[in-house]
Amino acid sequence: MKRRTTIMALVALALVMLAASATDWQQFQKDEINTGWTTDYAPISDPTLVWSKQTTGTGMGGIDVAPIVGDRQVFVLDYVGNVWAFNATTGQLNWNRSCTAPGTFELSTPAYNDGILYVATSSGDLNQGYCRVTALYANNGTKRENITLKTTDGYQLYTPVTYADDRIYLGDWNGSATTTNGSGTYYCLNASNVSDILWNCTPNRVSCGYRWAGAAIIGDYILFGDTAANVTCLYNDNATFVDYINISEVCGCSDPVEEIRSSIAWNESTGHIYFTAGKQDTAHSGYGTGHVYAVAFNATTGDLGDTCTWSNDIWHTTSTPVYYDDRIYVGGGAGMGLANGPGRMRCLNATNGSTIWEKWDANAGRVQASPALSVVGGRKFIYYTTNVNNGSAYCLEDVGDNYTVRWVWNPPDPDNQYILQGVAISDGFVYFGTDYGRIYALGGMLRIKTTHHYGNTSPYNGTFMFNMELVCNGSTPLQMLRSVADVTMNGSRVCGINGLNESPPCYWYLYINGIPAPDADIDSYQLREGEVVHWDYSSMINAGGGKSGSKSYSAMNYPEPPRSEIAKLIPEGSTPLDVLQSVADVTMHEGRVYSINGLAESPPYYWRLYINGMPVPYEDIDSYQLQDDETIEWRHSIRNNAGGVTSENR
């Protein structure tokens, strides 16, 4: 196994940089509108298997739901109704619990919110009626309460659990892989007590049910599709009917009538919902019929209109589309029942539905899963799995009019099973499960790790023992200096610290967060938490009264430059500028870093890069690819006019 790589990143002038926290992936396709994308990093080349764990699996069943991530745990439901909770970073098993009598498969992806896990189970058998919802405490798996919604033979809870605003939503279904029996019901439960049914809705439709047809919660409304080709809109408060649209009637796809077996994805900027529908028939040489649909939705009135904006023929599909930056990403291919059916991952123009590019695989390429995107620095990486014998996980990069295959990862033997559902992305990891019953965590990132350190400061003639508690809020730099040292003043300037002085024009100059401060500020500027105070012994240039760029003695440095833990993952191949921009606001000027988090002074002052203590040419800050265990350091420097030589202010 490849070891994980580590970069020690030190920003020398003690920037107080708050790392972007990892984003949880708390339910199917991330949230209640099935966004399906995140700004968290994920592996983009040669992924490392960081950990894998075995749940319960036979090859027929195993894990047929997407994992979810909440509060640094990964949760997954296996085919016999056991819920498993693993440490998201190490894979350590935290707990597992059974939520139902054993069956042969479970298809409902759980949802997490605020320490509670919501799990829907069905005993996993076509002839078993057992629709149960259980609320578990996520820290230990203890049951809070549960409810059995239906015991009629054959009904199953096969939609994802959707959480929004202290409610959970889900639907049931009765049928086979290719048929639907009876009429399904959609439910709304109180998330604070799932035994409290707020409402349920059973449309007066024959052969209508909800298999993988997860809801989108859009303002006051809930929208969901069904196996009779309808998208229904209700008031989510009380299930009052608002509108519906039947795609077989208005979208020109009536032969055959396609079943909506995807969740509804909503994008506010376009005012559209996106979903797929399909039918396992003889079309496309027996691989089946299916389309991607775009339908306008008025989020104010709940109106679905009376037509489709566009549709795109993608063959049989159950994939939930992902919208990002006027593009739609979606999978499709052969229907169920084929061990190695062909398939595709397709990128569409979200405005008109035209195909921009697709990855087509004539052998073992069937995609039933919903893609997940990691969007980093404007780059778009698409992650998905293939539901074929010996299925794999994929990462593509959208490069405009085409794609690049970043990697394909196949689970190691003896796991050569199908991968029905897609991935969850969080904090540099990609998680997914297989029919073998194994869950995988793929990494392959460069993690910045540093330590937060406050210590003593040591001028050449002694040591200042500085106690942070001695500094009151609103203290000035001069007050702080006087609290730990004997200070001699010459007018408004500090000319001596603990006896270290020389006749003017040599003075002690103040730097705050690495930036030279005006002399007038030394006893007026009010210090704030986390700021760095530094005094340099320098000479004042007679011409113009400016300060020299030379550094003589460092008498005081409070606190020492913090090496703050930055829980941020950086892709392999990152440059020093990539790293800096991932944790700070950066302003550039003529190819140089001019400002970091607003810390700047007019040129010729710039931030200078050091790697392993050695200065790096300015032109390399966005081209040099960082290696294992390197140290990144940025120093605020002045570039002399003559020859462009850099002298260090700090």
pLDDT band at 538 (very low <50, low <70, confident <90, very high): low
The arithmetic mean of pLDDT across residues 563-573, rounded, is 47
Residue 372: pLDDT above 60? yes
Taking alpha carbons only, the member of 185, 152, 183 closest to residue 169 is 185
488 touches 494 (CB < 8 A): yes
The arithmetic mean of pLDDT across residues 522-530, rounded, is 72
Place of tokens 């299925």: 391
Question: What is the per-residue pLDDT across 310-356, written as a single tens digit (0 to 9) for each?
Answer: 999 998 899 999 999 999 999 998 765 566 778 899 999 999 999 99
- Transcribe 467-489 into DSSP letters: -GGGPPTT--HHHHHHTTS-EEE
pLDDT band at 528 (very low <50, low <70, confident <90, very high): low
Question: What is the per-residue pLDDT across 121-163, written as a single tens digit (0 to 9) for each?
Answer: 987 554 455 799 999 999 999 999 999 998 877 789 999 999 9
Q: What is the pLDDT of residue 474?
A: 58
When the pLDDT of each residue in the chain is averaged and rounded to a whole number, the result is: 80
Q: Is the pTM of this model over 0.95?
A: no
381 touches 374 (CB < 8 A): yes
Residue 240's CB is within 10 A of a number of other CB atoms, namely 11
Measure the CA–CA gap between 433 and 427, rounded to whole angstroms: 18
Label residue 219 exposed, middle or buried (CB < 10 Å: 0-12, 13-18, 19+): exposed
Question: What is the per-residue pLDDT across 545-560, written as a single tens digit (0 to 9) for each?
Answer: 333 333 333 333 333 3
E strand map for 158-240: 162-164, 167-174, 186-190, 193-201, 216-218, 221-225, 230-235
Which CATH number is associated with domain 573-648? 2.170.130.30
Taking alpha carbons only, the member of 516, 506, 512 closest to residue 538 is 506
Measure the CA–CA gap between 222 and 167, rounded to whole angstroms: 12
Residue 360: pLDDT above 70? yes
User: For a pLDDT cut of 90, what percent of the chain falls above it?
Assistant: 48
CA 605 to chain centre: 36
pLDDT band at 543 (very low <50, low <70, confident <90, very high): very low
pLDDT band at 479 (very low <50, low <70, confident <90, very high): confident
Measure the CA–CA gap between 348 and 111, rounded to whole angstroms: 29
Question: What is the per-residue pLDDT across 66-94, written as a single tens digit (0 to 9) for each?
Answer: 999 999 999 999 999 999 999 998 999 99
Q: Kindly report which listed range (102-116, 244-258, 351-365, 546-560) carries the lowest average pLDDT score.
A: 546-560
> What stretch(es) of the chain map to CATH 2.170.130.30?
573-648
Q: What is the pLDDT of residue 626?
A: 78
